[in-house]
Amino acid sequence: MNQPLVFNYLRAKKQFPHVWCPGCGHGVVMGSLIRAIDKMNYNKDSIVMVSGIGCSSRMTAYVDFNTLHTLHGRPIAYATGLKLAKPELPVIVVTGDGDAIAIGGNHFIHAARRNIDLTVILMNNNIYGMTGGQVSPTTPYGGRGSTARSGNPEHPFDISQLAIAAGASFVARTTAYHVPAMDRLIQQALENKGFSLVEIYSQCPTYEGKWNKRGDAADMLRYYKENAIPVAQKSKYSPEELKDKFLIGVLHHQPKSEFTAEYQKIIDKYQMQNQAAMQSKIKAENESEEKKRAQEQPATED
Amino acid sequence: MPEKVLFIQGNEACAEGAIAAGCRFFAGYPITPSTEIAEAMSEKLPRVGGKFIQMEDEIASISAITGASVAGLKAMTATSGPGFSLMQEGIGYACMAEIPVVIVNVMRGGPSTGLPTKTSQADVMQARWGTHGDHYLIALAPESVRETFYLTIKSFNLAEKYRVPVILLMDETIGHMREKVVLPDYSELHIENRVTPIVPPQWYKPYEVTTDFITPMAPFGTGYRYNITGLTHDEMGFPTNKENEIASKLNKLRDKILRATADIVDYETLYTEDANTLIISFGSASRAAKEAVKYLRSHRRKVGFFRPITIWPFPEKELAQIIKKVDRIFVAEVNQGQLIEEIRKVECYHKKIYGINRYDGETITPNQIISKIKEARE
């Protein structure tokens, strides 16, 4: 029997069953991420996956790469250090809306600004799942959670727009329903040299669904299916029609100089200077030695 | 490289020591009075093929150096009080995940923003207990520019050897003071590098409890695929909730330091053989204390001097031997009395202990120490 592809990339015997609830979208994202990585033909030993704290961040324990499960909000900061230290390793950050945008918002925008070559897979479920359903920075206005029982009085972030504004070179959005598109978008993000974000709407039936009466996982997936509009078809809709919908696909792709490559240029410049200095030093030494010899020779002839 | 004679600041000596120790990664955020370290590193590192990055805050800085250390580079950050407070969660992570990093804290007056340009030694307890939970780490305090150079190297050596964050507790006085330093030939220095595994990847246990509690560390990307987490983990690095595995992990974090105190601990003594009065001090304050000791000795007072170079772990055994013989103890420090509490723990003979403190932004003077000792005598 043919083993499914994902088994080659999972710590299947050690770490399962996983912590995700029945109906959670994060497992679908993990499968999609693995398929995209497989297409990239990376060496498994070279892939680094960094995550923070939260439901989505638990993914690092399940996949068979070099995995770094860090502090709440800090995965992008850890990944920045790791990537700069060893730019040859592909570094993937797995994070959630609370992790990356609330507590880690600063690291998120600055990594995008630097355009450091990280691929950020951000699972946005509009809620803090691991701690039991509190509102997050992406919970819509009026949305409910255990810390906003009569409706969220705050306005949400649009994560993709935030990343674009901060300077990310690749930004895409998709949902846990649009799996083949997700495979493709993650692969594109991995291919992009620079800060790449794939924002994935991933359903949380246990808390987000329950608090907001959105039904079960299937109902939530149906919501994604019915309300997602591919970027290419945006022009077909009037602004009125687009009001309660969201765009999926590649929202932004503008390659620009990447941070670690730019830093390498600085190192190379100094190395060239060092080599030139060394060569001129050797040359000067040789010359002075020749002079010495030339002076000594007549003395020995005597 | 032959010997070099320089006239430099403590901060510059720290950067020089880091390069000599093999530091190839620095992440930092500007903060007085430590900024010169970041400036020097940004100049030096790319010249030796290393990497410098100015991060968006101190939390990001400690995170980035931890990430770089996981990738296999010796990494350092430098900060002062307010930044050191922000770094505490990252220090806890490095303790738990056993990742070697060096954190330089050039102490300034606190609490909060406090006195950015004035000196202090008030982060002694924060260095030990700043992050939450039971944890063990190492902190060193230099007293001169020359010693800053050597203790920076020692910080890296200890961090790499014991897989633990090491804190270099400088103070503003040392950081900004210029002194003559004779730098040695770097090839003659003792440099420790982390032990990497020799077993094949399928046998590698990243957090194995070994007899000396030190486990080889495989950098990412070298064929050893494993998990690192800040959650309490088992020998394979995966989160655990089992009682025996939790206790064994915490014991390992403790015992790797406690069983090696003889190797880690360093201190300095002066005239302790016949002393009946002991002055204890550390960092820049010990310069004044030494001056006071010399003056009092020249006036035939039997005064001795003790200076812990490793503040954490505190040289308890060594100090206890000396305390046994003296009648009175004076602890001179530029704070309201932090190290004195450690000495009270060690001292069990009911001897008189006096604190000599100054916390107005200026450093202790020899006169202050001498007059306090004379006062106590009367």
Taking the CA of residue B353 and the nearest CA in chain A, the distance in Å comes to 42
pLDDT digits (tens, 9 = 90+) for B162-178: 999 999 999 999 999 99
pLDDT band at A300 (very low <50, low <70, confident <90, very high): low
Give the tokens for residue B122.
Answer: 């008030």
For residue B320, give the nearest of B372, B280, B263 by alpha carbon.
B280
Confidence at residue B347, expressed as pLDDT on a 0 to 100 scale: 76
Mean pLDDT of B11-36: 97
A68 has which bridge partners?
A: A50, B228
φ/ψ (deg, to 5) at B270: -140, 130
Give the tokens for residue A159.
Answer: 């994560």
Mean pLDDT of B333-344: 95
The answer on pLDDT for B215 being more than 80 is yes
- Contacts of B322 by beta carbon, 8 Å cutoff, 6+ apart: B269, B272, B275, B278, B304, B306
Facing A78 at nearest CB: one of B64, B219, B224: B64
Confidence at residue A298, expressed as pLDDT on a 0 to 100 scale: 62
Please tell me the distance from the alpha carbon of residue A170 to that of residue A161, in angstroms, as a whole number: 11
Mean pLDDT of B126-147: 97
**Pairing assessment for the beta strands A118-124 and B277-281 based on DSSP bridges:** unpaired
Alpha-carbon Rg for chain B in angstroms: 21
The answer on pLDDT for B248 being more than 80 is yes
Please tell me the distance from the alpha carbon of residue B310 to that of residue B168, in angstroms, as a whole number: 9
Confidence at residue B44, expressed as pLDDT on a 0 to 100 scale: 96
Please tell me the distance from the alpha carbon of residue B364 to that of residue B105, in angstroms, as a whole number: 20
For A267, other C-beta atoms within 10 Å of its C-beta total: 16
The answer on pLDDT for A302 being more than 60 is no
**DSSP per-residue string spanning B266-316:** -EEEES-SS-SEEEEE-TTHHHHHHHHHHHHHHTT--EEEEEESEEES--H
- For chain A, report the end-to-end CA distance as a whole number of angstroms: 93
pLDDT digits (tens, 9 = 90+) for B37-95: 999 999 999 999 999 999 999 999 999 999 999 999 999 999 999 999 999 999 999 99
Confidence at residue A137, expressed as pLDDT on a 0 to 100 scale: 96
Mean pLDDT of B17-28: 97
CA distance readout (Å), B342 to B125, B266, B356: 10, 16, 15
| CB contacts, 8 Å: B65 with chain A | 81
| CB contacts, 8 Å: A79 with chain B | 67
| Chosen CATH of A5-256 out of 3.90.190.10, 3.40.50.970, 3.40.190.10, 3.40.50.150 | 3.40.50.970
The answer on pLDDT for A2 being more than 80 is no
Residue B80, amino acid: S
The DSSP symbol for B330 reads E
**DSSP per-residue string spanning B202-265:** GG--TT---TTS----PPTTSS---EEESS-B-TTS-B---HHHHHHHHHHHHHHHHTTHHHH-
pLDDT digits (tens, 9 = 90+) for A256-280: 999 999 999 999 999 999 899 999 9
Confidence at residue B229, expressed as pLDDT on a 0 to 100 scale: 97
Asked if the C-beta of A8 comes within 8 angstroms of chain B's C-beta atoms, the answer is no
| CB contacts, 8 Å: B227 with chain A | 60-61, 67-69
pLDDT digits (tens, 9 = 90+) for A142-164: 999 999 999 999 999 999 999 99
Strand A196-201's sheet: what is its strand order?
A228-230, A246-253, A170-175, A196-201, A118-124, A91-96, A48-51, A66-69, B227-229
CA distance readout (Å), A91 to A120, B168, B213: 9, 31, 31
pLDDT band at B378 (very low <50, low <70, confident <90, very high): low
Q: Inspect the interface and report whether the beta carbons of A65 and B236 lie closer than 8 Å.
A: no
Q: Which domains does chain B have, with CATH numbers?
A: 4-188 (3.40.50.970), 267-377 (3.40.50.920)
Please tell me the distance from the alpha carbon of residue A194 to that of residue A262, in angstroms, as a whole number: 11
Mean pLDDT of A10-19: 87
Asked if the C-beta of A80 comes within 8 angstroms of chain B's C-beta atoms, the answer is yes
Confidence at residue A301, expressed as pLDDT on a 0 to 100 scale: 52
